[in-house]
A and B are shown apart, each in its own frame.
Chain A
């Protein structure tokens, strides 16, 4: 059995301790600056990683993060697990009924807020791949284009919700439409990403592709209907009979891991299983709010910082920064979301100014974009240069959304 030796085990503990403490300091600093905490965590990773610490003192970097030894493998396992758990808690906040409740405004906004950026992202990546300085063989160009479309269309629910709270727009009609649309964007975005992952590997016939699509949709439908009913039935019993909060924590994370394992086995991606399990559990009215809070606290404050700091440890952000590509990614990201989501909101009955506010609200890509980019990088869909551009785009869109919303929207027309 593979085992870390004494020194490696100490190395792993030191690495994780350093990551957690410095990530906390970074996120507190970000909080003071009123920017998304993920920005603080990423910056800590960049400082600790090969971009800065590795460049100026490689011996300290190697001591703190002996990534070339087995510690690297162990840390990789932790970050993969973190990605699964992050998608699980993101899924827990997706409520399809929110979309139904907000009616046509949410449907138009979400639909156009996905289709337009997806098309623009796909179009530029497919027809002008030189813009991204990418070289392709076989189906790679098509998959890269699909990914860029997905990357441009996704939104980040946690960042958006925080921005809406800070701008006092959370419980307005406008805020609820933005939240509902972001939920639908996330769901569809992760489904498409999973499809792209399942399509990877050359020579898949259309029948296999159709089978992949059927599996993804079928699994989603199963979990959100029968799976959800089973969870609804078992949760009250578990919360009553099992120890608290141990019972519900074990059940939730157990379902998450089984679901992730199943989708990974089906050739999709573990994160989709976790995301869908999150929706099925989080959507249950029987889930105790305190239990939801504990799960969120546990994952957001332990696994999320480990994940985001680890990104900076793996990639040299300075070496892979390309201003030209970053600007192109930014222009595509802003234009796609602002045009699509604003148009959708306008069709949904909002004024011009409010529609633009919806566009800016949904433009925040935050942590979701970074997770998506990380998984795409690991899968070989994109290179480090595109990844760095996506991370910068995710941070800039998240930071600018709040100011734009404050400027454009008034906290009026409140709703329940």
Chain B
């Protein structure tokens, strides 16, 4: 099952020319700078932008082709917008049920109680909309979209309007939704950390065109990945989270590539999560230093040493369980440690950001 979109649009100061086919599973992220056409592409998929000649095929359903056009309310799509979009004349309860009531009974896969539990909004049901915080509003929007039991979920920069604190509060719900809801998700964003946290696949967009579409793993393995434009190279490790020890640290990942995380988050034990590690937070050592404040030492093997850029080299390594971990060191250090593919080193990780 795939989602195929073909569209050409030529407006003053803006052109869009895309022809892509996306697998209908997991989270696909449309990534690019503002104005690159990612939101327009999302609106074409939703049927909110009726572009002449465009083609949108969802699996075997034809959503748009020639004169045939299925309006949004018949596409069974869940939409979450950037800014708050709750219906102001309804309470939280009314908003959540607006779509639920309009979903045929035999198609409902999720019910109010499950949605409010998943998103932690059970206490807010009777509140009027204007008494919610930004984060609560976005969670209600998510719940409202999920309660229509959509066959596709479109998220248009759902975190962009939130402050860092609130983002951190919502992110776990988003990734939980991505893994639990069982609905393919298309996420529009310009934030690399959101892609790294949530996406399985990335569509890079620029100037109204699709540059490339590839799995996240592949995107993170490219030294020149646009995902690294802001904060430099980063890696994403996947692993299960264990129960906190007496110091409040939670183990992450399997034996041999275990990390201890300070901020355990609310993710339940045993749940597979992702951590994001910036390459500049990873140092390399030939021996395992024991008298050092850094707690997380991983035994890794160098896979690739990239050419220096801006006085820094990215060294790609593999952890014991085969995951890619990037480290950023100076060319001097590369020479000094004689780093080359195959070298066994210890990666010292200064800080780990838990993502879910």
A and B form one complex = no
Which B residues contact A (CB, under 8 angstroms)? none
Interface residues of A (CB under 8 A from B): none
